[in-house]
Structure 1
Amino acid sequence: MRLYIDPGTGSMLFTILIGLVGAGIYSARMLIVKLRFILSGGKKVDMNANRIPFVVFADHKRYWNIFEPVLREFDKRGVDVVYMTASPDDPGLQNPYPHIRGEFIGEGNRAFAKLNFLKAGIVLSTTPGLDVYQWKRSKEVQCYVHILHAASEATLYRMFGIDYYDSILLSGEYQATDVRNLEKLRNLPAKDLVEVGIPYMDEMKVRFEKAGPAPKHETTVLLAPSWGPEAIFSKYGDQILKVLLETGYHIIVRPHPQSYTAEKDMIETIMKKYPESDRIEWNRDNDNFEVLRRSDILISDFSGVIFEFAMVYDKPVIYTAANIDTSVYDAWWLDTPLWTTGILPRIGHELNGLNLPMLHSIIDECLNDTRYAKGRDEARSEAWEHMGEGAVRTVDYLMKKYRELNPAERPDKEA
């Protein structure tokens, strides 16, 4: 007879175990400090010995692009940072920056077990759920800082996703309003809310400006669906490719990487029916820069690539409206509409089952209608403050915060 423990129970047991172990380790450390104090004849014991001033944590390698501009700025200032990742093949482990040390800390619970006993000044992360799931606040971390990884709501995380961070780095005023409203509803202490911009999108913009427009080419449509029951292929199947090919435009299909595993049979069936040709190509590049650069219009669903394409590349989008069930998200607590649902009609045209046969004319309208260009300007104004200054402002805040917490220490060479 085999004993089965469901994932929920397993997670709960892991949390209890980590809590007990953490309490034991903390008590043991306090005992050691007291013993050192006694044995030293009452001399002051340095409680901050072996503490890492700055730690950046990524739960997956896909977030390296979020952190690299910030880490480069730290390195430029001669400040040492430890970049901890839960991906063994994270590019950050082989980074070229002398002051940035990459460290693989294990996958899944192994990573969280290390983080739960971390001794650090400031921890910067884009991972939600601190002190909610397996990742617990360490008693020996002074400040936890969250940085968003998309130009959208801070409330579209699973419930309580950012409640137990000390600071949140934002890119728009509407995000700060949402966070403050959640704090009031839940009677939470006020966090530091700092509007720094979007460092990774600043990076994309610089790269795009250096590369310049793509060489002259035929009109190219990029279909970049996400995955899941509300995604484009789940809703429309291969019918959307049939309609797109009838436009006569060049079509690039770039499914979400998860589709190739979670929806393998469906993707393979569609690829077999519509194989690569001179009219259609399937793209799986790790870096989406070139495919976005040479596309004239994007069709997607609830993927964050919509905002990157519209706000960085300044090109029109066609989107499918997702029936988002906010009951599991922080947004459910608020009586204000989502910023995302309000901005999408201003930057592009909605695609649905009724107008799918008219996709050709919708594409042409989006390529030529100036109101969508105006909408893109509005999106940048509302959700991308301090454009071009994101990394500098982020590091400015982190350094300032560290000095406030440790006025006797000077971790940077420039100070």
Structure 2
Amino acid sequence: MKSVLFIIGIFLVNDAHAYLDPGSGNALVCLFLSLIGAFFYYLKSFFYRIVLKIKGEQYTQKLDEQIALFSEGKNYWYTYKPIVEKLIDKKIPFIYYTMDFEDPALRIDNEFMHSKYVGSGNRGFAKIGSLKTKLLITTTPNIGCPEYPLRKPSKVMKLCHIWHSICDSSCYHLGALDYYDVALTVGNWVEEPLRTVEQIRKIRAKEVIPVGLPYFDELKKIYDRRIKDKSEDKQSNSDLENKQKVLLLAPSWGAKSCLKTYGTDFIHKAIEKGYHIILRPHPQTVKVESDFLKKLQNEFKYTSQVEFDLNPDATDSMLKSDMMISDKSGVRFDYALIYEKPVLTLDVPATSLDEYEAILLGRLWGEDEAKLIGLKLQPNQKEQILEAINQTILFKASDIKKIRENVLVNYGYSTDRMVEWIETEIREKNN
């Protein structure tokens, strides 16, 4: 009776002359859509149970409903691609949910993979919120957090977060992983800061499984293939030894960009010293900072010593270069640990760490580690950049390789480790 009166009230009541702030309205819409999705899902499951009971058969959850991958968009495809391929190769059924209509996963046609576009925004979050699965694996942090539009799905037995960069929990927003059951991390060393945060906030301890970085598996494949092609090139070894030194400049975008803090004078000085520069703007710079990008292109249009790389695939630039210059961008560690080449960090101090777990841990991962893969300068050291380039380029590949061994497990086969864990989880739950 209460439900009937509520529904009647919705359609009969006129203007309420009330104010609803956008944040609360967004949350209510998301909750309403989630309830609708959950209701229809329940009706469908209830219908199948009735039909099977009439037939004298017992209802069992489909195997492909036991494993689900959730992606917010195609930007994360390199993380999911090796996992998807390994699951298909091992003939393990699964469902892949995406909020991006252009996600490459939607173009895969395979009997063991069901790809579903759930829509973007609140519509997509509502569908994910009503999922029923044993394992939901995602790169998305913040699920379940009060201000995030996606609550933790109540019918998911284990919500699992995959690490998608070299870091620890200090780089995550406050509470971003509080509602997860499993953390699939890059290495054993990540567990300690996770446990520290759990103890400080007095939250339930999650499972920590060090698997590595699946997207590193993919990048390593590309790197190995290109190195093989390069070795088959007819260019002589003497030509390779005498080639011009190449610097890859890969700044972040917006206020975090080292070019906006340090300027471009150091680029002109490096050109004068005989360096060749590949300037690779951040994808967001290309999208939303077109005026800034045009200004850079005009500044260096009369020299052949600077080239701009706007290709979505950075492999060519990374292979051609001898070292990288960047700021706080995570690409520094991708470059150093895969290509075993040094990086000069032009640090752009963070305005505040109050929103990150670093405020609880007393440090932000990468601040000290940047000095292990090259030199690190501060804004008041602008005049020292050229000398820092000369010193950084001398860092040995063997030393950088040792750093990789310390921070990353299962390099090149982390996907194997992850799928083994998935198989074990499903087997144990089915028993």
Alignment TM-score > 0.5, same fold: yes
Which residue is 1:203 aligned to? 218
> Relative to 1, partners in 2 of residues 1:233 and 1:16: Cα closer, same or farther, differing over 3 Å?
same
Alignment partner for residue 398 of structure 1, among 422, 426, 429? 422
Q: In the alignment, does 2:249 pair up with 1:223?
A: yes
Q: Is the 8 A contact 1:81 1:101 kept in 2?
A: yes
What is the CA distance between 1:129 and its match in structure 2?
Answer: 0.8
The equivalent of 2:91 in structure 1 is 78
Partner of 2:354: 327
Aligned to 1:346: 372
Once residues 87 and 112 of structure 1 are traced to their aligned partners in structure 2, the CA distance between those partners, rounded to angstroms, is: 12
1:343 touches 1:379 (CA, 8 Å); kept in 2?
no
CA contact 1:318–1:348 (8 Å) conserved in 2: yes
Aligned length: 398
Q: Does the 8 Å CA contact 1:347/1:373 hold for their aligned counterparts?
A: no
Please name the residue that 2:207 is paired with.
Answer: 192
Q: How many Å separate the matches in 1 of 2:119 and 2:35?
A: 22
SS of equivalent residue, structure 1 residue 143:
strand
Measure the CA separation in 1 of the matches of 2:40 and 2:120.
Answer: 27
Q: Which moved more, 1:360-369 or 1:183-192?
A: 360-369
Aligned to 2:125: 112
Q: Distance in 2 between matches of 1:212 and 1:31?
A: 55
Post-superposition Cα deviations, 1:9-57, rounded to whole Å, max 9, x if no partner, equal 434323233335545665776688789679969x997373697221111
* Alpha-carbon shift at residue 101 of structure 1 (Å): 3.3
Is 1:252 the counterpart of 2:252 in the alignment? no
Whether the 8 Å contact between 1:243 and 1:357 is mirrored in structure 2 is no
Q: Is the 8 A contact 1:51 1:119 kept in 2?
A: no
**Match of residue 154 from structure 1:** 169
Q: Which is higher, the Rg of structure 1 or of structure 2? A: 2
Q: Identify the residue that residue 48 of structure 1 maps to in structure 2.
A: 61
- Report the Cα distance in structure 2 between the residues aligned to 1:367 and 1:142, rounded to whole angstroms: 49
Are 2:411 and 1:387 equivalent residues in the alignment?
A: yes
The 3-state SS of whatever aligns with 1:340 is coil
Q: Which moved more, 1:303-312 or 1:344-353?
A: 344-353
Q: 275, 289, 310: which is aligned to 1:284?
A: 310
Instruction: Say whether the 8 Å CA contact 1:197–1:384 is kept in structure 2.
Output: yes
Q: Percentage identity across aligned positions?
A: 26
Contact 1:316 1:373 in 2 (8 A): no
Letter of the structure 1 residue corresponding to residue 360 of structure 2: W
Q: Amino acid of the residue matched to residue 196 of structure 1?
A: V
Return the alpha-carbon distance in structure 1 between the equivalents of residues 299 and 121 of structure 2: 38
| Separation in 1, partners of 2:331, 2:341 | 12
The 3-state SS of whatever aligns with 1:164 is coil
The residue matched to 2:410 in structure 1 has which SS? coil
Supply the AA of the counterpart residue of 1:57. Answer: F
Name structure 1 gaps, 5 residues minimum. 408-415
Contact 2:347 2:379 (C-alpha < 8 Å) held by counterparts: no
Q: Distance in 2 between matches of 1:96 and 1:218?
A: 46
SS at match of 1:360: helix
Q: Whose helix proportion is higher, 1 or 2?
A: 2
* SS of corresponding position for 1:270: helix
SS in 1 for 2:375: strand
CA drift of 1:403 comes to: 2.2
Distance in structure 2 (CA, Å) of the matches to 1:22 and 1:96: 29
Q: Is the 8 A contact 1:50 1:119 kept in 2?
A: no
1:166 equivalent in structure 2 = 181
Partner of 2:24: 12
2:354 alignment partner, SS class: helix
The secondary structure found in structure 1 opposite 2:223 is: helix
Q: What is the DSSP-based 3-state SS (H/G/I as helix, E as strand, rest coil) of the residue aligned with 1:17?
A: helix
Counterpart CA distance in 1 for 2:307 and 2:180 is 43
Query: Alpha-carbon deviation of 1:392?
Result: 0.6
**How far did 1:322 drift?**
3.0
How far is 1:293 from its partner? 0.9
Deviation at 1:183, TM superposition (A): 1.2
Partner residue in 1 for 2:323: 297
Distance 2:37 2:282 in 1: 42
- Measure, in 1, the Cα distance between the counterparts of 2:46 and 2:187: 47
Which of 186, 193, 212 is the equivalent residue of 2:227? 212
Task: Tell me, in whole angstroms, the C-alpha distance in 2 between the residues paired with 1:53 and 1:406.
Answer: 10
Counterparts in 2 of 1:220 and 1:33: CA distance versus 1, 3 Å = closer
Cα distance change, pair 50–317 in 1 and its aligned pair in 2 (3 A): closer
After superposition, the CA RMSD in angstroms is 2.9
Asked whether the 8 Å contact 2:183–2:206 carries over to 1, the reply is: yes
- Shift of the 406–278 alpha-carbon distance from structure 1 to 2, 3 Å rule, reads same
Tell me how far apart the structure 1 counterparts of residues 319 and 428 of structure 2 sit (CA, whole Å). 43
Question: How far apart are 1:124 and its partner, in Å?
Answer: 0.8
Q: Rate the CA distance shift 1:143–1:353 in 2: closer, same or farther, 3 A.
A: closer
Q: Out of 84, 87, 90, which is 2:100 matched to?
A: 87
Could you give the per-residue CA deviations for residues 49-75 of structure 1, whole angstroms, max 9, x where no partner exists? Answer: 697221111112111001111111111
* Structure 2 CA distance for partners of 1:106 and 1:38, relative to 1, 3 Å: closer
